[in-house]
Chains A and B, each alone.
Chain A
Amino acid sequence: MKKISLKINLILTIAFLIGIYFFLSNVNILGDYWSRIVTLVAIYSIMAVSYTLVNGITGIFSLGQAGFIAIGAYTSALLTLSIQQKEMSFFIQPLIWPLNSIQIGFLPATIIGGLVAAFFAFLIGYPSLRLTGDYFAIATLAFAEIIRILIQNLYGVTNGTLGLKGINPYTNVWWAWSWLLVTVIVIGSLKYSSYGRALRAISEDPVAAKVMGIDVFRHQMMAFVISGFFAGVSGALYAHWITTLDPRPTSLGVMLTFYVLIMIVIGGLGSITGAILGAIFFAFVSQWLRIFESNITIFGFTIPGVPGMSMLILSVLFIIVMIFWRRGLMGKEELNWQKIYNFFKKVEVQNE
């Protein structure tokens, strides 16, 4: 098959980015509902790409993603909420100083949200990255749950079960997609740097990687902290997209980790483009599956809606993918023009 040259690759990529730019500029045509979904797709993508850095590229199995997202979401929201809004919301216990008297812009709040999440990734990673396999998964799962319970109970900081309301709806298509671009550039260049090569070696054989002089702990730590940062950023974007936050298990709890896990498994663990494809798939399918949660009428029969049905279907899908299609869409590889070209060439040959 023909090999696509670097020049054509570059041209196609630039054309693709311009195409996305025009799509995003005109997204309003789709209406409010769909442009919100397009924004959500980018937020999910950041969650998925940051998660695949740990679970796919580095090959350590974390179940703490929702914890970092929640930290980013709450931190940034507490920084952007107006002072009057804070006074109004925190009526069980007033918000502690200095949070009660500051309000900053969206960009610094997002970055601080990411940094605080990264700091927590360091705190949890330091002791638990020394644990192996299953124990690490359990430790991170426990961490995320502890974060959720803390949020639920620290009324003076998080407003507990009352949650945060009236968060400014700053997150638009541009914020979300620009942050996605940053995420992809950072994690993509990491994957293909000598650091990333070391990370991939660690994921294949940590002992052999150590023998070659790679400081396994330090590398895993770095990946975990960077992943934590972008998970925090995605949380900040999410908070200013949905505009209300609460600590229910189904919103920022283990369910969310599970959702993001579905995205990266479908996309192929370790693939950045795969993670994005998985996020797109998840965003649309989970919207579409909602019809099963309300009553459906077919040929005069009414099938009663079952709450949680969409989750059930997604879970079954997840299990099927795990059993029959471990590679997911992309495996560990990245989608590129060569692959697309080869794919269409194959279709063409088959049709002849």
Chain B
Amino acid sequence: MPEILKIEDLKVHYGVINAIKGINVRVNAGEIVTLIGANGAGKSSTLNAIMNLVTSKKGKILYEGQDITKRSTAEIVKSGIVLVPEGRRIFPNLTVQENLMIGSYGRSDKDGIKRDFDFVLSLFPRIKERLKQPGGTLSGGEQQMLAIGRALMGSPQILLMDEPSLGLAPLLVKMVFEVIRKIKDEGKTILLVEQNATMALANADYAYVLETGKITLEGSGKSLLAHEGVRKSYLGVK
């Protein structure tokens, strides 16, 4: 499969803190690729660097063969990379529908927007019933669905997801992963950051393990799921 996103020797630092110390990541089109790691490993920093939301980074980010390292966040979104940020960050005083429309900001293809809107509502029937209420009145799980739906409204080629299962009950975690697979079935590529390694690896085509800013292991989702070290450190198996 063709490579759609490529990160070459990425380094991110915040003042004197080196959060990412030179990593290489490849994402093939149409696959689910996951990045697992403990708290503070640098998972969010990686995604934020792709979106050009960090102030200081080195290295190269290639999207469909083009260098997007220096593009603005708005341009990156427009070109088809959309982030579901850590902690959801929906707009609490905008209605659910307005939140979704913000996701389609900058698009002018009315038909496409309508199609994506219908797709999001079919994905999340709970959201459909709550279009007119303020986003802030949704439950945590519903807010996560809204955050995913909002990102999908940007018609992404690649969806970056930062810990979408964080703080959700087991049943909802399962549902989030079902949604991720459905999004994949739509032909989209997903770069998923997770602490819930079991679920992430079980669903991923390819996976990377990030430890304090470095990639220590990579391989297919299944192979990492069976890996001794991963089982000990991330899956809680003794």
Residues of A within 8 A of B (CB): 194, 197-198, 200-201, 204-205, 207-215, 332
Contact = CB atoms under 8 A, between A and B. Distances in A.
B98 A197 contact: yes
Given A197-B98, A208-B85, A213 B105 contact: yes
Query: Helix, strand, loop or mixed for chain A's interface?
Result: helix
B77 A213 contact: yes
A211 B91 contact: no
Contact of B90 (A200, A208, A215): A208
A201 B73 contact: no
Contact of A201 (B51, B72, B94): B94
B149 to A, nearest CB: 12
26 contacts: A194-B105, A197-B94, A197-B101, A197-B102, A197-B105, A198-B102, A198-B105, A200-B94, A200-B98, A204-B92, A204-B93, A208-B89, A208-B91, A211-B73, A211-B77, A211-B83, A211-B85, A211-B89, A212-B77, A212-B103, A212-B150, A213-B74, A213-B154, A214-B105, A215-B72, A332-B93
Interface of B: 51, 53, 72-74, 76-78, 82-83, 85, 89-94, 98, 101-103, 105-106, 150, 154
Contacts of B85: 207-208, 211
Contact of B94 (A204, A210, A211): A204
Contacts of A213: 73-74, 76-78, 82, 105-106, 154
A215 B74 contact: yes
A199 to B, nearest CB: 11
A3 to B, nearest CB: 12
B101 A200 contact: no
A212 B154 contact: yes
A21 to B, nearest CB: 34
A213 B83 CA distance: 10
B102 A212 contact: yes
